[in-house]
Structure 1
Amino acid sequence: MKTSMKSRRVQTSITAVGALLILVIAFICYRTVKETIVNNEKENMISIARVSARSLEAGFRAKSNLVYAALSGDMDNVEAIEQNMLKTGEKSRYIPQADAGSLKKWEKEACDEAAVQPGEVIAGPVRHLDEGYYALYLTKAVYIGKSLAGYVQVELNLDEVYEEEQALSNLKLGNGGYCVVKDRNGITVMSGDGGKEEELSVSEYKETDCEMVWSYQVRGGTPERTRRLIAYDTAEFEGEPFRLCVVESYDGIVEPIDRIALYLAVLGLVLLLWISLFISRLVQQRRKEEKLKMELQHEKELNEANEALRNQENLMQKYNHSKTMAVLTGAIAHEFNNLMTPVVLYSELLIENETVQREMPDETAELSATAKRCEDLARQLLDYSRQGRAEKVLSVYNATFAVENSVCMVERLVPDNITLRTAVCRTKYYVRGQVGALNQIILNLAANAIHAIGERRGTIGIQFGLSTEDERMARLVVEDDGGGIPVAVRQHIFEPFFTTKCEEGGNGIGLTVVKRLTEEHGGSIRVKSEEGKGTVFMMDFPWVRNELGV
């Protein structure tokens, strides 16, 4: 009971520490991501404000240059002045020099400055008109007959300037953003469709910056206080400063982050509860496993004892099987040898008969050679039954000649429905092994190929020459386009007495002999087969320099 309580306390402590650690990490990640996004947005807004301010300066400068070009130089008369005023494309009026004394104070100050600087266009001031918009005045002194005739004041509607400036009117801002322009006193003189009813609380404008400020806006008679990001830059024109402000909703920027953070917090809480439940279940499961392990320990010891006994029985069965196979193979070899004795004797008698030799010399020679190979097969079966204790006689012989001799025999064996294609090199390659072994290899593989093709039309190919992969090897290839070897059978084809030709009397020793004879030559055998397309047997034999093996 005490152990269980202690385990629960440890579990609770681990859960609490894990929860606290997750919360701290989540909060740090949240703050980092939030600051990164806000800072990126600030940099973007500062860039927009800078570009827009330069565009506004260029627009004012273009207006001033147009006024200068239209009103510079000597005029012939007042009509000429009025005609050139139309070229400015803006609302303007001509003030004769005689009327300058009756002007308003700001108008008189602008005219006096224009008189002092006759070659310049004087900018300012910015005035709010009764029509509801702000205007910037451009004043230029004009001359008739090289004498000061008066002044022309051009009125620039700042709302129209705002709309004409593509960088301002087509500005695309997210998060409820907009762009406004303020004069030197902080009064909004250009606002387009946004920010007309909103006041931004900026304590001090720097040259270029972006900061979070509070804005105040009255909606339905109720003042609203919201957070805004404001980036600003100054457009300077003829000494008249215009503060260009790019404004976006701070809450609109951070709201998606806050929402994601809330979702992640809920998800983390659910995950923490699930982990706690999982740990509890895991502890209970471990206790059950320990109990079950104790119960199975005794049974495991009994099973190990039984397994040792079964292994011993399997070893005895393998030994008995091997012994039985050896005895059976020896009996077959002796019986086969007894049956071949009269065949060998009669073949020798036919060879000694002069009449038979004259009429059928090739047939008697082939009969004698076949009988001798049968004797060799019987001897090999005896060797197998003795588990390799019999001494094998190995010698160096001409493998090329042996292959050519075997091809001649195969030509007589293949039926009419099968085409035999051969490619045997003319170079003599000598190998070390039992004489006649290559004949037995080729005849066994050819017989299997004939069986694989059956009664349908097919092709058997026999190739012999230098290996293309290793110049130290001579390669023998026997292939057919028969039915191929099934995948399930392919791994058993070299096992003794394994056969798929039970109904036709196959003994299952042919490929076993082929593999053994190949390995006795120091060679290797590979098989490639595909069901429905055929089989290829590829054997590589190390060859020696000449018939003496030197």
Structure 2
Amino acid sequence: MKKGKKTRRTRIGITAAVTALILLIAFFCYQTVKKTIVNNEKESMAGIARVSAHSLETSLKAKSNLVYAALSGDMDNEEDIQQNMLKTGEKSRYIPEDKMAALKKWEKEACKEAGIRPGEVIAGPVFHQEEGYYALYLTKAVYIDRSLAGYVQVELNLDDIYEEEQALSNLKLGNQGYCVVKEADGTTVMSGEHVEAEEFSLAGDEGDGCRIVWSYQVQQGTPERTRKLVAYDTAEFAGEKFILCIIENYDSIVEPIDRIALYLAMLGLALLVWLGIFLCRMAEQHREEEKLKMELQHEKELNEANKALENQENLMQKYNHSKTMTVLSGAIAHEFNNLMTPIVLYSELLCENEEVQKEMAQEAKEMSDAVSRCEVLARQLLEYSRQGRAKKVMTVYNATFAVESSVRMVERLIPTNIKIQTSICKTKYYIKGQIGALNQIILNLVTNAMNAIGEKCGKIQIQFGLSTQDERMVRLVVEDDGGGIPEEIRQRIFEPFFTTKEENEGNGIGLTVVKRLTEEHGGVIRVKSQTGKGTTFILDFPWIESSHE
């Protein structure tokens, strides 16, 4: 019992450790994917910020160039100056030189700088107007009859520039994104209709032009604190510095991965609950098994006794089966001999008939050879029934001739859907064994090949000649492209009465006879097969130098 408790504790500890490891890996994967998504969004937003900042800078420069083009050169009078002010297309006013004293301090400073640099347009400052928009002032010195007559201040409505600049107003962003422009001090000067009273700080540059910041926005009188992903770039114009910000809701960016993580966490929790229930049931089952252990031990002893008795019964059945097959083989052999007797007599008569010999000598000889082989087959069945007590007559005979005659015989048996290809050497090779045994070997192997191919189109190849691996051996190869022999039964194909054929289609003795006849010749048999591609039987026989058949 103590050992069982220790085992359960070990299992619980291992389960807890594995669970913690899985959670750690899951958290690491979540953080990695989340970071990748945010970094990809940062790169995209930074690119948009660069392009938009350049576009804003170009637009402001175009406004400045227009003011410069309209107000440059020597003018005739103040009316001429007023006409050229209209060409700027912006709200502007003319300040004569003699009215400088009434100007505000910033206006005086701007006009003074414009007088010092008459060939330039002075930009700045930016002021918030009573109408609610921010304006950027452009100041240009103007001349009448080559003398400084005064200054023209052009007021650029930054909201109008925002709307006119398509790269800003028509910017399509996901994740509740929009674009604003701030001054260097953080004041939002261009926002369009995207945001109201939203403030955030970009202090501390991270170096990649993109930051995650906390944004404070008043919604219906209540301050709301949200995280924003801000990509920013600087647009500089005539000494004025604007920070263009591409803003997206950070929570909207990470929401999909957070939702997936939540679903996976719920799934993981469900799996843990299921695992806990499973472990409880396993523990309960273990306790029940412990209770039944003694009974199972007793039943095991009874089963072993019954198994020994069954083994004895199986041995007796095999013995009776073997004796039955022996008696049956003997009966078949005697009956076969009786049936073959008239065929032998008529065959001899046909071979002695002169007219038959003139017209059908070859057919008569083949029939006579077939009769001889039937006699040999009957004798082999009789030998099998006598369990090897009959004396076998071993003779040296021409194997090449035996193979050729066997091929001629099986060619008549091959159905039309199967083609037979042969490669038989012309040299006479002699082997020692029972005459007719090689014919029976080839007939059995070809029959098996035909059964393997079945109704589909296929081919059977028969090769005979000197072995390329051992010059003392001659090799017979029978190859087909049928269904092949599965690996799990390949080791049993030479067992007596083992067959995979349907009932009444075979008795499983063909390959057993082939193996026995091969070994009686002092040869060996090997089989190579691949399921779905075919089977090859390779038989090697020792050949004997002889000058007679």
TM-score by length of 1: 0.71
Question: What's 2:319 paired with?
Answer: 319
Question: What's 1:393 paired with?
Answer: 394
How far apart are residue 116 of structure 1 and its match?
0.6
How far apart are residue 307 of structure 1 and its match?
0.9
Q: 1:97 to 1:327 in 2, by over 3 A?
A: same
For 1:313-392, what aligned pairs fall within 5 Å after superposition? 313-330=313-330, 332-333=332-333, 369-388=369-388, 390-391=391-392
For 1:448 and 1:353, how far apart are their aligned partners in 2? 37
The answer to whether the 8 A contact 2:182-2:190 is kept is yes
How far apart are residue 159 of structure 1 and its match?
0.7
Residue 223 in structure 1 maps to residue 198 in structure 2: no
% identical equivalent positions: 60
Q: 1:205 to 1:292 in 2, by over 3 A?
A: closer
Question: What's 1:193 paired with?
Answer: 193
For 1:339 and 1:182, how far apart are their aligned partners in 2? 116
For 1:144 and 1:16, how far apart are their aligned partners in 2? 91
Question: What's 1:483 paired with?
Answer: none
For 1:422 and 1:10, how far apart are their aligned partners in 2? 67
Question: What's 1:210 paired with?
Answer: 211
How far apart are residue 282 of structure 1 and its match?
1.8
Tell me the secondary structure at the aligned position of residue 275 of structure 1.
helix
Question: What's 1:297 paired with?
Answer: 297
For 2:255 and 2:451, how far apart are their aligned partners in 1? 81
For 1:438 and 1:13, how far apart are their aligned partners in 2? 70
For 1:448 and 1:4, how far apart are their aligned partners in 2? 58
Amino acid at match of 1:227: T
Q: 1:89 to 1:427 in 2, by over 3 A?
A: same
How far apart are residue 73 of structure 1 and its match?
3.5
Question: What's 1:66 paired with?
Answer: 66
For 1:78 and 1:266, how far apart are their aligned partners in 2? 79
Q: Which runs of 5+ in 1 are unaligned?
A: 453-457, 481-489, 531-535
For 1:150-161, what aligned pairs fall within 5 Å after superposition? 150-161=150-161
Q: 1:391 to 1:527 in 2, by over 3 A?
A: farther
Q: 1:103 to 1:29 in 2, by over 3 A?
A: same
Amino acid at match of 2:284: Q
For 1:249-264, what aligned pairs fall within 5 Å after superposition? 249-250=249-250, 252=252
The answer to whether the 8 A contact 1:45-1:210 is kept is no
How far apart are residue 114 of structure 1 and its match?
0.9
For 1:5-154, what aligned pairs fall within 5 Å after superposition? 48-75=48-75, 81-154=81-154
How far apart are residue 53 of structure 1 and its match?
3.2
Q: 1:357 to 1:135 in 2, by over 3 A?
A: closer
Amino acid at match of 2:288: K
The worse-fitting range, judged by mean Cα deviation, of 81-90 and 54-63 is 81-90
How far apart are residue 466 of structure 1 and its match?
5.5
For 1:295 and 1:64, how far apart are their aligned partners in 2? 103
Amino acid at match of 1:223: T
The answer to whether the 8 A contact 1:396-1:547 is kept is no
The worse-fitting range, judged by mean Cα deviation, of 55-64 and 31-40 is 31-40
Tell me the secondary structure at the aligned position of residue 148 of structure 1.
strand
How far apart are residue 541 of structure 1 and its match?
4.5
Tell me the secondary structure at the aligned position of residue 292 of structure 2.
helix
The worse-fitting range, judged by mean Cα deviation, of 458-467 and 271-280 is 458-467
Question: What's 1:487 paired with?
Answer: none
For 2:204 and 2:417, how far apart are their aligned partners in 1? 100
How far apart are residue 193 of structure 1 and its match?
0.6
Question: What's 1:163 paired with?
Answer: 163
Amino acid at match of 1:293: K
For 1:461 and 1:32, how far apart are their aligned partners in 2? 60
How far apart are residue 180 of structure 1 and its match?
2.6
Amino acid at match of 1:297: Q
Q: 1:161 to 1:4 in 2, by over 3 A?
A: same
Q: 1:230 to 1:147 in 2, by over 3 A?
A: farther
For 2:26 and 2:458, how far apart are their aligned partners in 1? 74
The answer to whether the 8 A contact 1:474-1:541 is kept is yes
For 2:544 and 2:114, how far apart are their aligned partners in 1? 120
Q: 1:462 to 1:394 in 2, by over 3 A?
A: farther
Per-residue CA deviations over 1:288-347 (Å, capped at 9, x if unaligned) read 122223211111111112111221222233233323433443455456557767876897
For 2:324 and 2:344, how far apart are their aligned partners in 1? 30
Question: What's 1:307 paired with?
Answer: 307
For 1:507 and 1:185, how far apart are their aligned partners in 2? 101
For 1:344 and 1:227, how far apart are their aligned partners in 2? 109
For 2:258 and 2:71, how far apart are their aligned partners in 1? 59
How far apart are residue 255 of structure 1 and its match?
5.8
Per-residue CA deviations over 1:98-138 (Å, capped at 9, x if unaligned) read 44444444333222211111111111122333443222111
Q: 1:382 to 1:114 in 2, by over 3 A?
A: same
Amino acid at match of 1:178: Y
The answer to whether the 8 A contact 1:134-1:189 is kept is yes
The answer to whether the 8 A contact 2:464-2:476 is kept is yes
Find the partner of 2:426 among 425, 428, 441. Answer: 428
Question: What's 2:282 paired with?
Answer: 282
Q: 1:138 to 1:396 in 2, by over 3 A?
A: farther
The answer to whether the 8 A contact 1:414-1:420 is kept is no
Please, what is the CA RMSD of the aligned residues? 5.6
Q: 1:25 to 1:64 in 2, by over 3 A?
A: same
How far apart are residue 391 of structure 1 and its match?
4.1
Q: 1:431 to 1:55 in 2, by over 3 A?
A: farther
The answer to whether the 8 A contact 1:197-1:218 is kept is no
Q: 1:106 to 1:510 in 2, by over 3 A?
A: closer
Q: 1:68 to 1:394 in 2, by over 3 A?
A: farther
For 1:109 and 1:316, how far apart are their aligned partners in 2? 125
Amino acid at match of 2:180: V
The worse-fitting range, judged by mean Cα deviation, of 156-165 and 100-109 is 100-109
For 1:384 and 1:285, how far apart are their aligned partners in 2? 57
TM-score by length of 2: 0.71
Equivalences, count: 522
The answer to whether the 8 A contact 2:143-2:150 is kept is yes
How far apart are residue 286 of structure 1 and its match?
0.7
For 2:147 and 2:442, how far apart are their aligned partners in 1? 127
For 1:373 and 1:465, how far apart are their aligned partners in 2? 22
The worse-fitting range, judged by mean Cα deviation, of 149-158 and 21-30 is 21-30
For 2:530 and 2:28, how far apart are their aligned partners in 1? 63
The answer to whether the 8 A contact 1:397-1:435 is kept is no
Q: 1:35 to 1:76 in 2, by over 3 A?
A: same
Amino acid at match of 1:146: R
For 1:476-491, what aligned pairs fall within 5 Å after superposition? none
Question: What's 1:533 paired with?
Answer: none
How far apart are residue 141 of structure 1 and its match?
1.8
Amino acid at match of 2:183: D
Q: Which runs of 5+ in 2 are unaligned?
A: 483-489
